[in-house]
Amino acid sequence: MSLLEDLKWRYATKKMNGERIPAEKLNYILEAARLAPSSSGLQPYKVIVISDRALLAKIREVAFNQSQVTDCSHLLVFAAWDGYNEERITRVFNYTMDQRGLPYQTMADYKQNLLAMYEPLGQEWHAHHASKQSYIAFAMAIAAAAEQRVDATPIEGFNAEQLDELLQLKGSGYRSTVLLPLGYRQESEDWLVNMKKVRTPLEDFASELTLADLTGAADKAPTE
């Protein structure tokens, strides 16, 4: 199997059958998310794993009643830092230096530059930036799930304020960003399962650009 075959197999499953996924597959998907790259390696996010049926029922109420939230095996809640500050960044950098056996001082200048860059941008910008980082891990989880032949539905359709309240994230330094129910498709009740996958044609999606294109030099090139 290739990555492209996996990505063609997956789709935003609308109806799941409630079957459990094995622990190894769940761990594989979480590991792929954990290995995602992030800006400055800060990994300003975490994943909350929920399979408790009573809690899932409550989450569905703040997720526009989407059935995948309760018919999944496990729900991954991606949550990102609500801001950057010296304490949080120092904790991550010191951990990195510990893991690499290097003195904390190694990243001191880099850290000061990062703080100086982030500080004037404000907490909402920070939270948005951290949220964007969490989507990279989210995408890795989606691809890993497809490789494992586990269905996954990306879900942004939820009330983040209410979910944060429900999961008691307020005051924790994290805000929920996006959801990923994992499970198995209920083909007979899923209107999307056999629909053609539609994407922007490659020629419109990706195009090559040269400096000559920008300066108009290409147009001025002498022709025979």
Ligand X SMILES: Cc1cc2nc3c(=O)[nH]c(=O)nc-3n(C[C@H](O)[C@H](O)[C@H](O)COP(=O)(O)O)c2cc1C
Query: Could you tell me if 71 and 183 are in contact, meaning their C-beta atoms sit under 8 angstroms apart?
Result: yes
Q: Strands across the sheet with 151-152, in order?
A: 45-50, 74-81, 174-183, 151-152
**How far, in Å, CA of 71 to CA of 153, rounded?**
11
Please, which residue, 32 or 89, has the CB nearer to ligand X?
32
Determine, following the binding rule CB under 6 A, whether residue 145 of this chain makes contact with ligand X.
no
3-state secondary structure of 148: coil
Determine, following the binding rule CB under 6 A, whether residue 170 of this chain makes contact with ligand X.
no
Query: Which value, to the nearest 10 degrees, does the dihedral of the CA atoms of residues 135, 130, 202, 180 take?
Result: 10
Contacts of 78 (CB under 8 A, 6+ apart): 45, 46, 47, 134, 135, 137, 138, 176, 177, 178, 179, 180
Residue nearest to ligand X (CB): 157
Give the nearest distance from C-beta 83 to ligand X in angstroms: 22
Figure out which of the listed residues 137, 141, 150, 155 binds ligand X, where binding follows CB under 6 A: 155
Please, which residue, 28 or 135, has the CB nearer to ligand X?
135
Please, which residue, 60 or 111, has the CB nearer to ligand X?
60
Applying CB under 6 A, the span of 27-35, 113-121, 155-163, 180-188 interacting with ligand X comes to 155-163
Give the nearest distance from C-beta 123 to ligand X in angstroms: 23
Figure out which of the listed residues 153, 176, 177, 186 binds ligand X, where binding follows CB under 6 A: 153
Figure out which of the listed residues 157, 170, 213, 218 binds ligand X, where binding follows CB under 6 A: 157
Determine, following the binding rule CB under 6 A, whether residue 187 of this chain makes contact with ligand X.
no
Figure out which of the listed residues 3, 5, 9, 12 binds ligand X, where binding follows CB under 6 A: 12
**How far, in Å, CA of 176 to CA of 42, rounded?**
17
Query: Could you tell me if 212 and 35 are in contact, meaning their C-beta atoms sit under 8 angstroms apart?
Result: no
Figure out which of the listed residues 5, 52, 156, 165 binds ligand X, where binding follows CB under 6 A: 156
> How big is the site for ligand X, counted in residues (CB under 6 A)?
11
What is the end-to-end Cα distance of the chain in Å, rounded?
49
Tokens 């999606």 -> residue: 205
**How far, in Å, CA of 62 to CA of 174, rounded?**
18
Applying CB under 6 A, the span of 34-42, 154-162, 181-189, 213-221 interacting with ligand X comes to 154-162
Figure out which of the listed residues 48, 154, 159, 173 binds ligand X, where binding follows CB under 6 A: 154
Residues that bind ligand X (CB under 6 A): 11-12, 14, 66, 153-157, 178, 197
